[in-house]
Amino acid sequence: MQEFEDQYEAFKRLIKTHTPEQALATIKLFGMSDELAKRIAERHQQETIAVREKREPGSVVRNNRETWYVGPQDDDRCWPALRNLLAKQSWNEDSLRGLDSASTKVVSMLDHPLESAFSTRGLVVGYVQSGKTSNFTALIAKAADAGYKFFIVLAGVHNGLRLQTQLRLERQLVEPVIDQWHPLTGRVGDFEPPAGNPAAFFGDKSQQHVLCVIKKNVPRLRKLKAWLAKAPDYLRNCPTLIIDDEADQASVASRSTNPLIREIIDLFPRGGYVGYTATPFANLLIDPAAKDLYPEDFVVNLPKPRGHFGTEVLFGRDALDGEDPEEVPDGYDMIRTVPDEEVPLVRPGRDEIEGFVPEISGALRTAVLYFWLVTAARRVRGTGVPHSTMLIHTSVSTVVHESFEMPLEAFRKRTAGWLDAADGELLEELRRLWEAEIVRVPGTEPDLGETPVPYDALLPLLAGVVDDCRIILDNSKSVKRLDYEAGPVVAIAVGGNTLSRGLTLEGLAVSYFVRNATTYDSLLQMGRWFGFREGYADLPRIWMTDGMRDWFRHIATVESEMRRDIDVYMVEDKTPRTFAVRMRTHPSLRITAAGKMRDAVKASAAYGGQRVQTRYFRTRDAEWLRANRQAAHDLVDRSLRLAGARHQDNGMQGRHILRGVPYDVILDFLDEYRFHGKSLECDAGLLRSYVERRVRSGGGGSLKRWNVAIIGNPLSADPEKRYEFGPGLAVDRVIRAKLGESGGDAADIKTLMSRRDAGVDLDLGALTEINEAALKNARREQAPDTALLTLYPIDALSPSPTNRERRAPLDAVDHVIGVGLVFPMPRGEDSEVEYYSADLSRVQDDEEEDLSLLFEEDDS
């Protein structure tokens, strides 16, 4: 009995990244009996049927995955109440639809709450100040409607953010359907164990959902763990969702909070963990083979909301491979320079902190004056949030923060006096400043849509703004903190870490930032200027050094490239266990803290060391298919006739290999062959750009020579199965049925190329096991400078195997040409950019892609 349970648990782990058939075949390789395999298959079928009957309309495929959740249902209560509340709070219909779609995507990645046991690990990647809290509030509402019962929100590490999250969830989630919820935490303090046995909250008789909002604080987490541990029997039947806000902070590579979070997760046999962050660098570099918080089940990009000011909107970015530099955004003209020589006036050295007094002069003086002008202009417009905030962030030291209070207050009082006296010199300075700024970023630009405010219109309100302005020090020692609950605020906020994570600075219009930081995630999180600027989209300004401006532009490029990698999960046959997101480095910055990168490995830029294959085909488009057949024939003909490639004839084995094909022949093929638009990694422009860059580098692995392989089935006596690329170059066609739910415009065969195919041009005889690591090593040793392109003649009909319920005949109007590309790792200095990623070497060995298991009649 125990052997069966152990094998079944192994099977359930495998089907997260494999089909059930592949999973069974894989564990059978380790000696499982046919009888045991049959029992496992029967149990899985019974459980699948049971899950599908739990919630209509049943299991469907969304986001390249089979899921039980397709969206809200008629009898839901929590999500409709949240949606109605947001609609009353001025959310427009487009924004509500976007939130609905994005949150449904995340719920669809979770396990069904009525599964007997599950443990999900996922990550949701948003933008700084972009509405991540709204998304996970919607996620909680929909998961509650679907049957999840207990929700733990890990709300950062500071009291301010915990309280902000608690208030938000109370107002938007709990109060609209108060009978559905029992909050364990409130507005005062943090989690304290309630009196009595926790079983009262989690027993089957309790119909309420339980909500706990808690800091990532060791004493609090220990209290929660100890309290929960008193009711293990009840927790066993309690579907639980843990939301980790700011999931890269304190959750990753920390000696105290990380183990506690994992121990709390382990208390729930039916639990999901979803991290939310705008800076996922550390999360994506966790060791996937360790029992940790690596998002092994899914990583999802949240869409960029309309009107959001992100890194590339403000700083621009560099063009990525395959992009036209002329079409890449260069950012609004909103960044102003703090001269390097002024930095010591506002940020003392370590030995100069005591007794330091900052100077309100130069760029800082200009920034403060501009802030008061902006606030007056916003009062003229009367739109957007009623608050107006300026951020000054120069140091982590609370002593330095305190040193700003008196000089800023003295400057405010002097300015108020000059305005009362109608000082001509000041008024002329203010006029010149305002009129210069509104020309540099005209509000009339289509993407901004704001009405310009003349200087003479704002001047009468300026004195009132200066009188209303308060200097607020917001740090870990502050008694008086930023508080937007008591009414409209005009504030110059001076702070450090408490203003760097999650906390929203309402109406932030001006930022003065010279804080010394050296990692991508720290810099982005300190950038509180990201977010929405409704009613004043033309007015925000940021003062920083030119060096920092370059850093943020680089990070914008890193972000864009990283998100492009993450999008692969939604459309390609890849998961975080089979494909690692890559992050480019910078000579002066670290990706994240050194401790969070200890398990990371160097990864190749773009396609280096990767295997790329076509998955989607236009099977009803005769012209598209004919053009691809012609491109393949031209490639073979040019390789032999023009390039003089050596032909290795293995036709009786269904293989032909053309060795030594020049790269320009391959580039011509990439220009002619039409990849389907859904295959993100099979982008001809990206592929061409990468090959050309490697060739230009001239270093090791320069891709000047290629091998081209024709891969089919061995020639049989049946001429109806034969496909000829040219004289003496014939094989029998391969069978590739499509997934049953895919359409003719995007017929999805899921997998084209086996691992053995990826090494068809290599001598693999000495390998005891063909896995990704072994293949990469073999190519490094045998063909370090040579890439491989494979051509597959796919039978137009390609009937579905009788034992594959989810497969359907390909049923194309013509035979189909599939393409695979295998790139060697770069060597030496041939890559201009260095990348890091998670180390998948120990998890990829579990992957089995032998296509003969999928198509028994196909010998390829």
CA triplet 554, 535, 88: central angle to 5 degrees? 110
Distance CA 810, CA 802 (A): 14
Q: What is the CATH code for 75-306?
A: 3.40.50.300
What is the reported pLDDT for 112?
93
Other C-beta atoms lying within 10 Å of the C-beta of residue 312: 21
The enclosing H or E element of 436 equals helix 424-440
Cβ–Cβ < 8 Å for 206, 198: no
Residues pairing with 181 in the sheet: 209
Cα dist from 524 to 12, 529, 835, whole Å: 38, 10, 19
Question: Are the C-beta atoms of 850 and 755 separated by less than 8 Å?
Answer: yes
Cα–Cα distance between 859 and 711 in angstroms, integer? 10
Closest among 610, 617, 620, 659 to 639, alpha carbons compared:
659
Alpha carbon distance 592, 356 (integer Å): 31
What is the predicted pLDDT for the residue at 464?
Answer: 97
Q: CB-based burial of residue 130 (10 Å sphere; 0-12 exposed, 13-18 middle, 19+ buried)?
A: buried
Query: So what's the pLDDT on residue 264?
Result: 96
Q: DSSP labels for 243-265?
A: EEETTTSSSSS-SSHHHHHHHHH
Give the type of residue at 150.
Answer: F
What pLDDT shows up at residue 437? 96
User: By C-alpha distance, which of 558, 563, 553 is closest to 591?
Assistant: 558
Rounded to an integer, what distance in angstroms lies between the CA atom of residue 72 and that of residue 731?
50
Say how many C-beta atoms besides its own lie within 10 A of residue 199's C-beta: 16
**What is the torsional sign of CA 836, 842, 846, 849?**
positive
From first CA to last CA, the distance across the chain in angstroms is: 37
Tell me the β-bridge partners of 242: 152, 273
- Name the 3-class secondary structure at 126: coil
From residue 66, alpha-carbon distances to 18, 78, 244, 467, 744 in Å are 11, 25, 25, 60, 20
What does the H/E/C string look like for 711-764?
ECECCCCCHHHEEEEECCEEEECECCCEECCCCHHHEECCCCCCHHHHCCCCCC
Whether residue 787 contacts residue 821, with contact meaning beta carbons closer than 8 Å, is answered with yes
Q: What CA–CA distance (Å, rounded) separates 632 from 569?
A: 28
**Low-confidence residues of the chain: pLDDT under 50:** 51-60, 829-830, 844-860
CA–CA distances in Å: residue 353 to residues 230, 343, 344, 347, 394: 49, 14, 11, 9, 12
Q: In the numeric block, which tokens belong to residue 742?
A: 């895919």
DSSP calls for 358-416 = ----HHHHHHHHHHHHHHHHHHHHT-S-S-EEEEEE--S-HHHHHHHHHHHHHHHHHHH
The amino acid that residue 453 corresponds to is V
Phi-psi region of 156 (alpha: psi -120 to 50; beta: other; left: phi over 0): left
Instruction: Please count the other Cβ atoms lying within 10 Å of the Cβ belonging to residue 342.
Output: 18
Per-domain residue ranges of the chain: 2-47, 75-306, 321-545, 611-853
Look at residues 309, 278, 316, 334 and name the one whose alpha carbon lies nearest to residue 553.
Answer: 316
Q: Which of 338, 325, 345, 307 has the alpha carbon at shortest distance from 450?
A: 307
| CA distance linking residue 408 with residue 361, whole number of Å | 11
Alpha-carbon separation of residue 24 from 12, 39, 853, 860 (angstroms):
10, 11, 10, 20
Q: List phi, psi (to 5°) of 411.
A: -65, -40
